[in-house]
Chains A and B, each alone.
Chain A
Amino acid sequence: MSNSRTPMTEAMYYILLALINPNHGYQLMAAIQRVSNGRIKMGPGTLYGVLTRLQKDNLIEILNDDGRRKTYAITKEGRAALRVEYKRLQDMIQDGRILEESL
Chain B
Amino acid sequence: MGKLVKKLMLDDIYAIGRNENWFSAMARQGLHLRKFGRIFVYFEKGEPKETKYRIDYLKGTPSQEQLDVYHDCGWDFIANNGDFYVFSTDEKSCSPELHTDAIEQGFSLSELDKRLRNNLIIISIAMFLFLGMMAGIYVLNDEPFLFMIKGQFVQQMLLVIVELYVFYAVIRNYVVVHNLKKSLLQGQGINHNEDHRKARVLSGILAGIYLSIALFTVFIPFIDITKSKDYTLPKADTDLPVIRLAEIEQNPDLVRETGYNGNNIDWANRVSHDWSLLAPVQYEIEEHGIVNGEMWADKSGMYSPSITTRYYKLTFDSMAKNLTFDLINRYVRRDDIEIKEFNCPGLDKIYIAEDDIRKQIFAYLGNQVMHITYYGKEKIEDIIPLISYKLHPYQEPVARED
Q: Do A and B come from one complex?
A: yes
Binding site for B on A (CB under 8 A): 1, 3, 9-12, 24-26, 29, 40-50, 52-53, 68-70
Closest CB in chain A relative to B110 CB, distance in Å: 7
Q: A12-B104, A49-B108 are in contact. Are A24 and B98 (CB under 8 A)?
A: no
Please give, as numbers and ranges, the residues of chain A lying within 8 Å of B105 by CB-CB distance: 45-46, 49
Sort A-B residue pairs by CB-CB distance and give the 9 closest, nearest first.
A45-B98, A43-B100, A11-B101, A45-B99, A49-B108, A25-B69, A44-B73, A46-B101, A44-B70
- Contact between chains at A48 and B62 (CB < 8 Å): yes
- Nearest to A50 among chain B residues (CB) is B104
Select one of A3, A43, A49, A53 contacting B96, CB under 8 A. Answer: A43
Cβ of B244 within 8 Å of any chain A Cβ, yes or no, is no
Q: Is B371 an interface residue (CB 8 A)?
A: no
| Docked-complex contact A45 and B56, CB < 8 angstroms | yes
Determine whether the beta carbon of B104 is less than 8 Å from that of A49.
Answer: yes
Which residue of chain A has the shortest Cβ distance to B71 in the bound complex? Answer: A44
Say yes or no for B68: interface residue by CB 8 A criterion.
yes
A86 to B178, CA, bound (A): 32
Assess whether B108 is in contact with A52, with CB atoms less than 8 Å apart.
Answer: yes
Residues of chain A within 8 A of B97, CB atoms compared: 43, 45
Q: A3-B110, A49-B108 are in contact. Are A43 and B73 (CB under 8 A)?
A: yes
Task: Decide: B75 and A44 in contact? CB cutoff 8 A.
Answer: yes
Please give me the residue from chain A that is nearest to B109 by CB atom: A49
Interface assignment of B18: CB less than 8 Å from any CB of chain A: no
Q: Are A42 and B100 interface neighbours, CB within 8 A? A: yes
- Could you write out 17 A-B pairs with CB less than 8 Å apart? A3-B110, A9-B104, A11-B100, A12-B104, A25-B65, A25-B66, A29-B69, A44-B66, A45-B99, A46-B99, A47-B69, A48-B62, A48-B69, A49-B107, A53-B104, A69-B65, A70-B63
Total A-B pairs, Cβ < 8 A: 79
Of the four ranges (under 10, 10 to 19, 20 to 34, 35 or more), the interface on chain B belongs to 20 to 34
Task: A43-B96, A44-B69 are known; give 18 further A-B pairs, CB within 8 A.
Answer: A10-B101, A25-B66, A25-B68, A25-B69, A43-B98, A43-B101, A44-B73, A44-B75, A45-B54, A45-B99, A48-B58, A48-B66, A49-B99, A49-B107, A50-B101, A50-B104, A53-B104, A70-B63
Assuming the A-B contacts A44-B75, A45-B54, are A53 and B100 also in contact, with contact meaning beta carbons closer than 8 angstroms in the complex? no
| Most chain B C-beta atoms within 10 Å of own C-beta, residue among A25, A26, A42, A44 | A44
Cβ-based interface call for B64 (8 A): yes
List of A residues within 8 angstroms of B54 by Cβ: 45
**B100 and A41: CB pair below 8 A?**
yes
Q: Which of B58, B69, B107 contacts A53 (CB 8 A)?
A: B107
Which residues B55-85 have CB closer than 8 A to chain A? 56, 58-59, 62-66, 68-70, 72-73, 75
From A9, A24, A25, A48, name the one whose CB has the most chain B CB atoms within 10 angstroms: A48
Does B380 make an interface contact (CB < 8 A)?
A: no
Residue among A11, A24, A47 with most chain B CB within 10 A: A47
